[in-house]
Amino acid sequence: MDVLIAILALLGCVLLGWLLADSLWSLILGCKAHVWPHIKGPDADLVSRFGSWAVVTGSTDGIGKAYAMELGKRGVNIVLVSRNKQKLEEVANEIERECQVNTKVVVADFSKGQTVFDYIERELREIPVGILVNNVGRNYTHPMYLAEVPEQELWDILNINIGATTMMTRMILPQMQNRKRGAIINVSSGSELQPLPLMTVYAASKVFVKSFSEALRYEYQKDGITIQHLSPLFVNTKMNAFSHRLQTNSVFVPDAKTYAHNALNTLGKVNSTTGYWAHGIQYALTKIPPVWIRTYIGGLMNQVFRKDYFKSQSSEL
């Protein structure tokens, strides 16, 4: 019995030590990502490190537009890929005017699936892409039970969140391999942390992005390619317009410009991050309870957001 107690005590000490070490390492990475850039200043020399051109998908609004602008401020030429030609040209003109870099626009609707990628590849054939930001994404228009979600909306989520990330990465990787440098930034979501009732398919698609990024990093680490996985929590963008609670800037709900500035500072410093310090705190706290509790809380939150949406719809009538 004494031997058994000693073994259990030893296992407990090992487990406690591992948890403490893991927490300490997370804290170190957090400081490296979010504190050190404010001391040293942001890494402005992205061109020499990764290359002179970046491709940003979903770049006419929200995080994508803010990322494109932030990259432009650091001297990177930008290829903007989205479905609205007019908005693409407006963003391109804004970036060229404010950042003094070159831009190119590619009109593509990722919801169309396989048919768009041959065209995109032709448009990018002469562009030496150093940074790919797989930002384009589609969420539910509002929290819904699965049987309520229009079939086309589900196909759009699958084609955009999973298909675009996969095929854009496959398209750009060979040229990065040849140059032995480059960075691929895959934008996921904090919803990857647990099954998320009333946004079931959206959350599942973000689990794909996380797994895809981590496996890809193993496959291409020998080629000098940085694979970064971003998992933001709530950001004040149109994607979260289903609730007024998410349309007001705060410490925990930053606007897209604030988020992109902080997130780009982490590139090359950490491989997996929320991109924003306050989101990092939320992410760490969210991971503490077991998955079933996280799932239950996520369901309760989406019930609140669902009520917000229907209330706003009724008030507009």
Instruction: Read off the pLDDT of residues 148-172 as tens digits, 9 standing for 90 and up.
Output: 999 999 999 999 999 999 999 999 9
The pLDDT score that the predictor gives to residue 10 is: 74
Q: Using an 8 Å Cβ cutoff, are 291 and 41 in contact?
A: no
Q: Kindly tell me if the per-residue pLDDT of 281 is higher than 90.
A: yes
Compute the average pLDDT of residues 5-19. Answer: 66
For residues 253 and 275, give the distance between their C-alpha atoms in angstroms, rounded to a whole number.
13
How many residues in total does the chain contain? 317
The pLDDT score that the predictor gives to residue 45 is: 86
The pLDDT score that the predictor gives to residue 11 is: 73
| Tokens describing residue 207 | 């689990």
Q: Report the 3 state secondary structure along 118-172.
A: HHHHHHHCCCCEEEEEECCCCCCCCCCCHHHCCHHHHHHHHHHHHHHHHHHHHHH
Among residues 67, 140, 145, 202, the one annotated as catalytic is 202
| 3-state secondary structure at position 119 | helix
Q: What is the mean pLDDT of the chain?
A: 91
CA 38 distance to own-chain centroid: 22
Q: Which of 26-40, 130-144, 213-227 is predicted least confidently?
A: 26-40
Q: Can you state the angle between helices 62-73 and 256-265, rounded to 10 degrees?
A: 50
Beta bridge partners of 227: 184
Q: Kindly tell me if the per-residue pLDDT of 176 is higher than 60.
A: yes
Q: Kindly tell me if the per-residue pLDDT of 29 is higher than 80.
A: no
**Band of residue 14 on the pLDDT scale cut at 50, 70, 90:** low
The alpha carbon torsion through 133, 78, 106, 55 (nearest 10 deg) reads -20
- Written as one letter, the residue type at 184 is I
Q: Is 315 exposed, middle or buried (0-12, 13-18, 19+ CB in 10 A)?
A: exposed
Q: Kindly tell me if the per-residue pLDDT of 1 is higher than 70.
A: no
Q: Kindly tell me if the per-residue pLDDT of 41 is higher than 80.
A: no
Catalytic residue status for 119: no
Compute the average pLDDT of residues 213-239. Answer: 96
The pLDDT score that the predictor gives to residue 32 is: 59
Q: Using an 8 Å Cβ cutoff, are 62 and 86 in contact?
A: no
